[in-house]
């Protein structure tokens, strides 16, 4: 029995030596996986819990949304009002950060998250540094004052400029970021209802096109690559769509369920 085991071990070792290593999969490129508002299927969106869950899930990026409060603090929140996720029926730009700090950002999601608070971007960066990259969407709510400037300042404070992508629907906000810190990667977001001129978007002054997944096909990818642009696809939760986006060669798939995407990628050999 010992001899058989020894022979088997030697055969495995010889096989690994001849191939160089065990088979590799796309899961090794963690940046393919972006957790949408953190792992938002398993934890309340845009919270430190959802970012931590994204880290545990093996995501390379956590996508978050940022806005300014009435007193100018950059916080994580998607909607224009805090009603849905924090129970405050006022626009974000009319709420002081102290009022938000006293609200629950997780009660709506479930009892285990009642003590969750609306995080600041500063806290999100500290939680992420050295553990996960951030895709930071600058929200254009029509009331932002120094959102780009304050975001860049926080990235510099934590030397996080090389660990993020700043995205927005608003090209003017992206231009401000580039003017302040040209080396920060930026990306233009385009929505599902956009009348897409792929060439127009591909030629913009940013490194990434973050597109609603129904817009992405072979032609879209060809135009993006011709202009040396990365492509992010959002928001992808169905397995077939995940497979389609991966087969098209997008650079990152934004999903509410990063753990599911990681499991899928483990079944796909690297080219």
In a domain, 261, yes or no: yes
Q: Which tops the pLDDT comparison, 270 or 258? A: 258
In a domain, 210, yes or no: yes
Rounded to 5 degrees, φ, ψ at 76 are: -95, 120
The DSSP call for residue 214 is G
Tokens 């929200």 locate to 139
In a domain, 139, yes or no: yes
**In the prediction, which pLDDT does 192 show?**
79
**What are the pLDDT digits (tens) for 139-198?**
999 999 999 999 999 999 999 999 999 999 999 999 999 999 999 999 999 997 766 666
Write the DSSP assignment of 227-245 as a string of letters.
TT-EEEEE---SHHHHHHH
**What are the pLDDT digits (tens) for 56-88?**
999 999 999 999 999 999 999 999 999 999 999
Number of structural domains in the chain: 1
Rounded to 5 degrees, φ, ψ at 45 are: -60, 150
In a domain, 160, yes or no: yes
CATH number for the domain harbouring residue 48: 3.20.20.190
In a domain, 101, yes or no: no
In a domain, 141, yes or no: yes
In a domain, 51, yes or no: yes
Instruction: Please state, rounded to an integer, the average pLDDT across all residues of the chain.
Output: 92
Domain that residue 31 falls in = 27-81+119-265
In a domain, 96, yes or no: no
**Is the Cα torsion angle 55, 57, 59, 64 positive or negative in sign?**
negative
């Amino acid at each position: 029995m010992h001899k058989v085991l020894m022979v088997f071990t030697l055969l495995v070792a010889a096989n690994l030596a001849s191939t160089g290593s065990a088979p590799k999969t796309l899961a090794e490129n963690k940046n393919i996986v972006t957790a949408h508002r953190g792992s938002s299927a398993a934890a309340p969106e845009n919270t430190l819990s959802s970012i931590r869950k994204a880290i545990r899930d093996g995501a390379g990026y956590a996508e978050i949304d940022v806005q300014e409060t009435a007193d100018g603090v950059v916080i994580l929140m998607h909607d224009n009002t805090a009603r849905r996720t924090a129970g405050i029926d006022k626009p974000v730009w009319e709420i002081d950060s102290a009022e938000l700090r006293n609200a629950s950002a997780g009660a709506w999601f479930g009892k285990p998250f009642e003590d969750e608070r609306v995080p600041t971007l500063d806290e999100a960066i500290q939680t992420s540094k050295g553990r996960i990259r951030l895709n930071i969407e600058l929200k254009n709510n029509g009331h932002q004052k120094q959102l780009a400037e304050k975001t860049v300042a926080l990235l510099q404070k934590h030397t996080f400029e090389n660990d993020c992508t700043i995205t927005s629907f608003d090209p003017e906000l992206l231009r401000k970021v580039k003017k302040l810190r040209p080396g920060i990667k930026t990306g233009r977001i385009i929505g599902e209802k956009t009348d897409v001129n792929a060439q127009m978007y591909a030629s913009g002054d940013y490194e990434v096109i973050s597109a609603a997944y129904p817009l992405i096909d072979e032609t879209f990818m060809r135009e993006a690559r011709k202009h040396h642009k990365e492509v992010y696809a959002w928001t992808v939760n169905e397995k077939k769509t995940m497979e389609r986006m991966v087969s098209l060669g997008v650079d990152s798939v934004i999903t509410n369920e990063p753990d599911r995407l990681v499991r899928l990628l483990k079944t796909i050999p690297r080219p």
